[in-house]
Amino acid sequence: MSDCYTFASVLFEIGLNSGEKKQSKQNMKKGLFVLFVLVMSLRVMYANECAEAHVQTPSAMGDVKEGFMISGHVIEKESEEDIPYASVLIVGTDRGTMSNEAGQFQFKNLAEGSYVLRVSAVGYKTLEKTITVGGEYMAVVHFPLAEENFMVDEVVVSASRSEVSRRDAPVVVSVLSPILFETVNSTDLAKSLNFQSGLRVENNCQNCGFPQVRINGLDGPYSQILINSRPIISALGGVYGLEQIPTNMIDRVEVVRGGGSALFGANAVGGTINIITKDPISNSFQVSSTLSNLGGKSWEQYMGANVSLVAKDNSYGIAMYQSYRNRNPYDHDGDSFSELGLLNLNTFGFRAYYRPTQFGRLNVEYHTTNELRRGGNKFDLQPHQTDITEQTKHIINSGGVSYDQFWDEYKHKLSAYASVQHTDRDSYYGAQRDTAAYGKTNDLTWVAGAMYVGNYTRFLFAPSTFTGGLEYQHNALHDIMVGYGRDMQQDVRIASAFVQNEWRMSDFTLLAGGRMDKHNLIEHPILSPRVNLLYKPRDSFQARLTYSTGFRAPQAYDEDLHVTAVGGEGVLITLADGLREERSNSYSGSVDYTTTFGHWAANVLVEGFYTGLDHVFVLEDKGHNEEGYAIKERRNGSGARVYGANLDAKLAHGKEAVLSLGFTAQRSRYNEPEEWSERQFTSRMMRTPDYYGYFTFTSEPVKNFGFSLSGTYTGSMIVPHYAGFIAEDRMETTPHFFDLGAKLNYTFILHDHIKLQVNGGVQNILGHFQGDLDRGEFRDSGYFYGPTQHRTVFVGVKILN
């Protein structure tokens, strides 16, 4: 126990400022000591269970006989035709493969014992079988898959940091897949997130196109964006990050609304968006290109490519992606100032693995982004020669490495990981030909940690899965803008420990745990508990209850790094003296029901949520600084509450007709009116509609031909409108918007299973767009709401195997 505690203490000590108070250190150590005494006590109690389960240590694994094989065949249940490219996974491990063109697959070099194989394919119900190998060299098994109208049991990791069927997850996890990306013709993450209830993406700037996602009505900084479960996207990276993530790098996006995902960070008050990148599973490739015209005025080109290579024995593999996107500036109202800025974006990356042993896996990934975005006017001139320009040049490099070690027939797993992201940004945020508005930002974020997951036959009163780990995050940011009098260095260090235990009973699953964080900008450590209860009497019905807490630290930068221009002058944001962290308490309950009638299938999910915020952050006008720039101060308000309900529904008749829709009704209110402009107050949170939703409809009426319809609805909301183009600040009430899109596609089968798909369609068919835009150099660039793009026509082509 002393070794464990010493290691944990070292991690927490390096997260403290050398000048912090001695009392703060003592409080932190006491809190950490209590947490780890609990962990080690649990482990001692688990010891008897380990003995009952005949746990093997890693050193004993060499005595296990290896060399057995499982050979399988995946077919359609009714026609018995082969199903190519089905995903085959050994449950509880990271070993997986894909069926070949004939629907066949193999696993080699297996140890003697029993394995649960899970087979899934798009359009089919997932099937699991237990296979025992030993005695005979090869076990042969057939997997007849029945057609499924829509997926309701995807494998997810965002519920408990371990792979689990979505139906068995103790919290509601929503999944966005490449099928959705194709349906709505999305090339980046920002265009995809609107098609999930409780989520809404908006463009917050006329000049640079700064996108922000809101979960259950809370601003972007209340949500946590992860890449492969790692919190590697910094405050700076989150400003434009949603548009910088291409969909062709994504295998799926897992969304947890509310604070039920506290294991990933207590600051995920609004929710968690976990981006799972594509893993190498089979030898495959894909190339695609799309050409779009925005409002008959501006062109956008996109090209993307993917390739995946895997060894025959599945011992190593690599998946690579590349994307290119170029968009010309779009001026909607003819005032020569852009509503959508110029964008030139190049991305490249890969994810690879190597298995040195049957029970171990090394994972490596790398991503790089090179982006230029610019908004304003006079694009042929240098930024300081224009009336307004907001321009950024990003060079982003990120990567990660992790190692997973299993033992005792994959009942136990120990993982160690480290990820890093570096951003180099040159910027110009200026108006009225300001030569001093250039800036330079350097941002480095890294995270490292270790996690143990153990499955036990019984702990206290039921079989259980224990998860515990340590994590350390560091972000160092240096931002210089001479013209704005800003030379700021921000250093954020968070040392964390987390534990949870999940008990599985006949109809119930109970998950309880917590996370302790020591943030260097907060004197005391913060403990954030979570409790989740799942009631599942049958596969078609799940009911869930969730309670969690969280916090948001009072650091300076999130969207503050985006310096807006209002009335031809810059606006800066400062922090009030004595600013406290925000605290949250979140509650939710849901019912999820799936049924079939004839050839139809339906699923309905209803979720209610409530989040209470204490010491909520608000912005207050503070006049102007010595350089003449407007100052807004972030201070603590009285508090706020966000509550409402989400509805998700699906109805399908095979592939002939699949309808998905979602709707959110909510209220986001301050406990007391807050001042948003001089002597002007509001009790309602700004830029948050009370009602919003989405729908998608896909159909394949004949072989090789399909079409889809999609749309998003945004209800009325209040938006601040600052003086410049208008004479005085005023609060505006926006109209309703409905953004409707359509897409057609046809697939040609070429030689050796090579496919060629051509597609085309229209986004925002009805042309719904903001009708009261500010004009000219004195406009309020932040006064921008509604659909991001006007009517857009597109055509595309894709080649794949």
753 in helix, strand or coil? helix
d(CA 663, CA 761): 25
pTM equals: 0.82
Q: Which amino acid is at 163?
A: E
556 in helix, strand or coil? coil
Cβ 513 vs Cβ 467: under 8 Å: yes
Q: Chain-centre distance of CA 625, in angstroms?
A: 38
Cβ 604 vs Cβ 648: under 8 Å: yes
- Please name the helix (run of DSSP H) or strand (run of DSSP E) that holds residue 307, with its range, or none: strand 298-310
- Please name the helix (run of DSSP H) or strand (run of DSSP E) that holds residue 182, with its range, or none: helix 178-183
Measured distance between the N- and C-terminal CA atoms of the chain, rounded to whole angstroms: 54
Look-up of token digits 């948001």: 552
Helix intervals (H) in 14-172: 22-52
- What's the pLDDT score for residue 61? 33
Beta pairing, strands 508-519 & 412-431: unpaired
Q: What is the dihedral of CA 75, 81, 82, 84, to 10 degrees?
A: -100
Look-up of token digits 């790089």: 368
* Rounded to 5°, angle at Cα 84 from 68 and 351: 75
- What's the pLDDT score for residue 624? 79
Task: Profile the chain (801 residues) by mean pLDDT over runs of 10 residues.
Answer: 38 38 43 43 41 33 57 86 84 78 84 86 81 79 80 63 76 88 92 91 84 85 86 80 91 83 68 90 91 95 95 88 96 92 96 90 96 94 92 95 89 94 92 86 94 90 92 92 76 92 92 90 88 92 92 65 53 77 91 90 94 85 74 83 94 89 95 87 93 95 93 96 91 96 94 88 95 89 90 96 83
- What's the pLDDT score for residue 443? 93
Cα–Cα distances (Å) from 40 to 499, 510, 527, in that order, read 11, 21, 18
Residue closest to 361 by CA, chosen among 306, 410, 419: 410
Q: Give the DSSP per-residue string, 548-607.
A: EEEEE---S-SGGGS--EETTEEEEEEE-TTPPPEEEEEEEEEEEEEEEETTEEEEEEEE
What pairs with residue 285 in β-bridges? Answer: 307
d(CA 541, CA 257): 20
Phi and psi dihedrals of 24, rounded to 5? -60, -40
Cβ 351 vs Cβ 278: under 8 Å: yes
Residue closest to 582 by CA, chosen among 557, 555, 612, 617: 617
DSSP 8-state class, residue 558: S
Q: What is the dihedral of CA 642, 643, 644, 650, to 10 degrees?
A: 80
d(CA 206, CA 772): 12
Cα–Cα distances (Å) from 187 to 68, 181, 201, 411, 705, in that order, read 43, 7, 15, 39, 21
Q: Which amino acid is at 536?
A: K
Residue closest to 211 by CA, chosen among 790, 801, 791, 784: 784
Cβ 282 vs Cβ 266: under 8 Å: no
